[in-house]
Amino acid sequence: MFARKKNPPQTPETAEALELIAAGDVPGALRLVRGREEELPIGELAGLLSRAAAAAGFEDLEQAAGRAAADPEHPQALYAYGYACIERGLPAAAVPALRRALELVPESGAVLRELVAAYEETGRHDRAAAVLETREESLADWPDRYLLAWNAAMSGRLDVARHQTALLSAPDDERWQPAHRRVQDIVRRAEVLRVAAAPVPTPLLGEQDLRGWQFVIAGTVLGTLSPYGFDAGMNGRWAWLQDSPEQCREGLLRLRTALSAADLHPTTVSLLPDRSSRILGLAAAELLGLPAVPFEPARTDTVVIAYDLSEVDAESLIALRDRTPGQVLHEHASCWTDTPPMTPDSAALLVQSVVPPWGSGLRMGEDGAPERMPEDSRPVEEIAADIVGADAVLPDGDDEAPEDDEAFVAFVRAAAAHWLQGDRTQVPSSGPVPGARFA
């Protein structure tokens, strides 16, 4: 039984959000409280989400949030509500409820792990590691100590990650074995860069070393850094990009440089079936001087080209998950806010949202107003030829991004000893390097 408590007065934001729900605008109501989840009283936010869930037809969240609104000091109600929020893609709303539940029942491992999951989902790996560290002496290796090692690494604390990984026993449950290898690989890759003193345009594994951290957390060699907003929060990432043949060409040339620096000699370029990947793959074959062949999972010594892995069909993704000897998976536009379904070995750039050069992009019309261009429906061979023949000179940017041509070659040589190893499991985090994102 949950005793109904007297609700505090509604905040103006909550009152307005309830009006939007009544008017049928659930997304608008959620946008209104986004970013304020930890400021609002738990019961008030839960009541709002119960109403929103009812309008959206999410019965599980409606009921769990309703119970938490009725008694926001009941640990089981808070736990169930937090769990439902995470399941429905609202981890920020889960955090205050689960944090309060852990205060009420500090010995609960289930509540602790769910709070860690909520922090992970919101990208606050530092908070996840901190709450685990307060209970370090009582942590079980699996999953708790692993979670500490993982979140420490994702928040840039390699000393803690290294120490906790060394303490981990081999998991009895084989389902945890990939996770065990993952943190071991992270520690090894970081050590490879440290010992080799891998040159980077910014301090090695500092908060702006996007290339170094991308290799450590994912095993990915990042080809290019965005020339815009480097010191304004982007740190080498793109937010929105209307891609160009020139940018595609540069990414493929960086791939060619990486293969040479790592002393790799593929014999073919493998074409994935989606249109964008076929276009880029045909251009890659020309620039690498290799024959283009259809993708076959068992083919060795080949470069598999993807424009955007989120657009690749499920069958191909499953086949790519197990690494074939000599196979290099290259992705051109790799999303950093919604990470690709598997980790590429090479990525040309990190972006939040991209429009391919052949997609329906925007241009300035004769009257100065933006207008949408139709998709380029020409044969893939013609569009690929545009990439091969594109201008070699890219825009200078805003002069904030560091020069890294020579550093890139030296970095790949340093990283080569531990490149193309481990699995390609998705890394559900953008890592320790901050980045400004747009909603």
Domain presence at residue 278: yes
Of 365 and 385, the structure prediction assigns the larger pLDDT to: 385
227 with 94, same domain: the answer is no
Domain enclosing residue 222, as ranges:
200-418
| CA 18 vs CA 29, 49, 57, 267, 317: distances in Å | 7, 9, 16, 61, 42
Q: What is the pTM of this model?
A: 0.91
Name the domain count of the chain: 2
Full DSSP string of 317-346: HHHHHSPPTTEEEEEEEEESSS--SB--SE
394 with 281, same domain: the answer is yes
Q: Is the pLDDT of residue 325 over 50?
A: yes
Q: Is the pLDDT of residue 7 over 60?
A: no
Mean pLDDT within 284-310: 98
230 with 358, same domain: the answer is yes
3-state SS, residue 362: strand
- Predicted confidence at residue 5, as pLDDT, reads 47
CATH number at residue 304: 3.40.50.2020
221 with 92, same domain: the answer is no
pLDDT band at 200 (very low <50, low <70, confident <90, very high): low
Q: What percent of the chain has pLDDT over 70?
A: 94
Range in 89-93, 174-178, 217-221, 399-403 the model is least confident about: 399-403
CATH number at residue 17: 1.25.40
Mean pLDDT within 153-161: 97
- Predicted confidence at residue 372, as pLDDT, reads 82
pLDDT band at 365 (very low <50, low <70, confident <90, very high): low
Is the link from the previous residue into 143 a cis peptide, with omega within 30 of 0? yes
Domain presence at residue 224: yes
- Predicted confidence at residue 364, as pLDDT, reads 65
Q: Is the pLDDT of residue 6 over 50?
A: no
Range in 5-14, 113-122, 176-185 the model is least confident about: 5-14
Mean pLDDT within 48-65: 97
